[in-house]
Structure 1
Amino acid sequence: MNTLSFASSVLFPSTCQQRLHYNRLRLHSNRLYKFSLSVYCYDSCLACSSIKLHPAHARRLLACATNPPEEGGVAVMNFEELGEKDWSILESDSTNSKEDLGKIDQIMRAGNVTETSKVLISLGSDDFVDRLAESCPCQFLLVVHDSLLSLASIKERHDEVKCWQGELIYVPEKWTPFDVVFLYFLPALPFKLEEIFKALASRCSPGARVVISHLKGRPALEQQRQQYPDIIVADLPDRSHLEKVASDHSFTLKEYVDDSSFYLAVLEYKA
């Protein structure tokens, strides 16, 4: 049985004290899987019986019970009402295309992941997380995401991956220092670049690599901004701004690509 623990979630605040078990979380496209999710909740006991996901993540229903499952009383809630955004923006329109997989491999290589690396991925796509987990063995892999459902799906596919639901700048320092940080979709992070690098400076090991990427590049980002205004809240930094902010927090720009179909920036931490 897989167990997934979150310090915070869109369902229940992390400050609560009573432990509860979501005993049958079912997900991953049209296939159903058993999953165990452990969270903290308020003193009023809520038992979740199942979550079913549409492949396109367009509709998400959460079935919750105010009493234990055996006592009945199950109610159905629309998951969007609980704050879950449509993160399908992260997934490629041409899933597993040769071109996109080549770009993903280029992003992974930029991180120089080794078997002793402690790696953090922020807002990674399914393709990226899967490929990294399967082809780049490392000591520790943490995926940070805003979406509880995305993390649950990742945990179902890769039990060895650590998942944390919350914001990048609040990642607990108990898992640090990181040797590699992939900011796979920076424009969705609701923080100034200065705040992000300040947080990373206190969580990276000497020589750590930070890889910022966008699989489709700046022009595609502007199109995505029109379609997903609630998710795209920032820009991809230009070279001069990135170098200035990075330098202020002891990071050095090692590689920079900003063309019409791909964005990649690689930085190294000089503690």
Structure 2
Amino acid sequence: MSSMSSSLTSLALTSPLHVSRKCLSLQPAHVMEKDWSFLEHPDSSAEHKQKIDEIISAGEITETSKVMIAISSDEFVDRVVESSICKQLLVVHDSLFMLACIKEKYDKVMCWQGEVIYIPEKWTPFDVVFLYFLPALPFELDQILDALRKCCSPGARVVISHPQGRQMVEEQQKQYPDVVVSNLPEKMLLQNVAAHHSFEVVKFVDEPAFYLAILKFINQ
């Protein structure tokens, strides 16, 4: 679990109880929230909604799926809950505030403040993993896929995406260098690293305003 997480916040967010915003006042004084507002893209256009739906469809969620979303916007979580029925939905984020807001709206959605490479085994194995904002994860792609390999079920799908594409990530990296620490992986790099960890890249789209990569876990 990340160093930002206290035992109090961990208990609150992983329990089945509601987490109210009042809980935020109980954070230790040294815990500082990063600015994640840039993830909430104010776009109500049909094209933007279509992109979000395409990302979600790439996961092929079923009623028996155990799903994880890492570093996401409220909008994306809302759309997953509205459009898909699954056995389990876990949202992982650095922001206690964002997780608390999600928990207020959806009691059945599990929330965990911590790093994606340290996910507790009790929620695994996952059938679908959405790395909605990979550039915010402070780890190399090799580390991330190595961790996911250990917590994915055979045939699991890992969806790496950005509804605004690589160009927007580069702009965000300039504006929020403390949060956006990397860019989206190029196709060749992704294929090589994926293969090393028993993942196959089954779809890759890298357009100026849309990025989507679908990896399938091949259990060997």
Do these two structures clear the TM 0.5 threshold for a shared fold by scoring above it? yes
Structure 1 counterpart of 2:82: 134
CA deviations on 1:193-220 (whole Å, 9 max, x unpaired) are 0000000000000000000001110111
Residue of structure 2 aligned with 1:201, choices 137, 143, 149:
149
Say if 1:251 and 1:268, in contact at 8 Å, map to a contact too. Answer: yes
Say if 2:135 and 2:180, in contact at 8 Å, map to a contact too. Answer: yes
Structure 2 counterpart of 1:67: none
Structure 2 counterpart of 1:164: 112
1:100 aligns with 2:100: no
- Alpha-carbon shift at residue 234 of structure 1 (Å): 1.2
Say if 1:107 and 1:211, in contact at 8 Å, map to a contact too. Answer: yes
Alignment-mate amino acid for residue 115 of structure 2: E
- Alpha-carbon shift at residue 97 of structure 1 (Å): 2.6
Say if 1:111 and 1:209, in contact at 8 Å, map to a contact too. Answer: yes
CA deviations on 1:139-181 (whole Å, 9 max, x unpaired) are 0000000000100000111111010000000010111100000
Distance in 1 (alpha carbons) for counterparts of 2:80 and 2:25:
33
Residue of structure 2 aligned with 1:234, choices 162, 182, 192:
182
Residue of structure 2 aligned with 1:214, choices 155, 158, 162:
162
Bigger Rg, structure 1 or 2: 1
Say if 2:2 and 2:115, in contact at 8 Å, map to a contact too. Answer: no
- Counterpart secondary structure, 1:130: helix
- Alpha-carbon shift at residue 227 of structure 1 (Å): 0.9
Q: TM-score, normalised by structure 1?
A: 0.73
Residue of structure 2 aligned with 1:192, choices 135, 140, 153:
140
Structure 1 counterpart of 2:15: none
- Counterpart secondary structure, 1:218: helix
Q: How does 1:1-271 map to 2 (within 5 A)?
A: 10=4, 13-14=6-7, 36=19, 50=22, 63=25, 82-94=31-43, 96-271=44-219
Root-mean-square deviation (CA), in Å?
2.4
Distance in 2 (alpha carbons) for counterparts of 1:86 and 1:179:
30
Distance in 1 (alpha carbons) for counterparts of 2:201 and 2:193:
10
Distance in 1 (alpha carbons) for counterparts of 2:114 and 2:168:
26
- Counterpart secondary structure, 1:253: strand
- Alpha-carbon shift at residue 235 of structure 1 (Å): 1.4
- Counterpart secondary structure, 1:209: strand
Distance in 2 (alpha carbons) for counterparts of 1:172 and 1:126:
23
- Counterpart secondary structure, 1:50: helix
Alignment-mate amino acid for residue 38 of structure 2: I
**Unmatched 5+ stretches in structure 1:** 1-6, 22-34, 38-48, 52-61, 65-76
- Alpha-carbon shift at residue 93 of structure 1 (Å): 3.0
Distance in 2 (alpha carbons) for counterparts of 1:264 and 1:218:
10
**Unmatched 5+ stretches in structure 2:** 13-17
Alignment-mate amino acid for residue 184 of structure 2: L
Say if 1:184 and 1:214, in contact at 8 Å, map to a contact too. Answer: yes
- Counterpart secondary structure, 2:22: strand
Alignment-mate amino acid for residue 84 of structure 2: C
- Alpha-carbon shift at residue 20 of structure 1 (Å): 8.9
- Alpha-carbon shift at residue 90 of structure 1 (Å): 1.1
Name which structure has the greater RCO, CA cutoff 8 Å, separation 6+.
2
Say if 1:9 and 1:148, in contact at 8 Å, map to a contact too. Answer: no
Corresponding pairs, count: 214
Distance in 2 (alpha carbons) for counterparts of 1:186 and 1:196:
10
